[in-house]
Amino acid sequence: MEHAEEFFLMDIDCQLEARHKGEEGFLDFWNKKKWQITMYLTMQPCHLSTDTGGTKPDHSCCKVMIEAKRKLGENVEIVIKPTHLCKANWDLKYAKNKEHVNNANEGVNMLFKTKGIELKCMEEDDWDYLLQYVQEGTTLTNCERSRRGEHDGIIRNYLEKVKQAEQAPEDQVTKGVAGLEI
């Protein structure tokens, strides 16, 4: 089963092939112009943490995104905005598979350490932007006071804690987010 991150990497490979062949009609990310690609994902990229059918146990979308960034080059920034966290913010004492939780956190840390990749929380403007692509007449509740806004706040807090832990001196980082070892 392919994940969105894999389709993204395949698209980059197709763009590179078209560029190499001299074809026209593709986005030339390699023209030294500054680009920002925002990926809206249902879940944060997985890292050896998925137990859904068809996904190999050693699969890492975090590594796929790092490879995509490498292929795109320094002039392209990738912003990843997940609408849900999967295992990354789970408390180990309640987890059935502690290794998956640790792996998910490790993957998030890998992304934060990669120059040119940012993990950010969805904001109300993002929801408004995406609304144009859904069925006409669909409305959103006031994001700030809704369960969605509350959930986005949980994601925001988690990502801020991980980012702060990444920026702390190594000897000060003993416990990660939600008491998880990092």
Q: Which of 2, 11, 1 is nearest to 68 (CA)?
A: 11
Question: How many C-alpha atoms does 140 have within 13 Å on its Cβ side?
Answer: 20
Average pLDDT, the chain: 86
- For residue 114, the tally of other CB atoms under 10 A from its CB is 16
Q: How far apart are CA 118 and CA 78, in angstroms?
A: 6
- State how many domains the chain has: 1
55 pLDDT more than 90? no
Q: What is the pLDDT of residue 48?
A: 85
* Signed CA dihedral, 124, 109, 114, 166: sign only: positive
85 pLDDT more than 70? yes
The reply to whether 166 falls in a domain is no
The reply to whether 163 falls in a domain is no
The reply to whether 29 falls in a domain is no
Domain range for residue 49? 1-12+34-129
Q: What is the pLDDT of residue 174?
A: 41
The reply to whether 23 falls in a domain is no
The reply to whether 160 falls in a domain is no
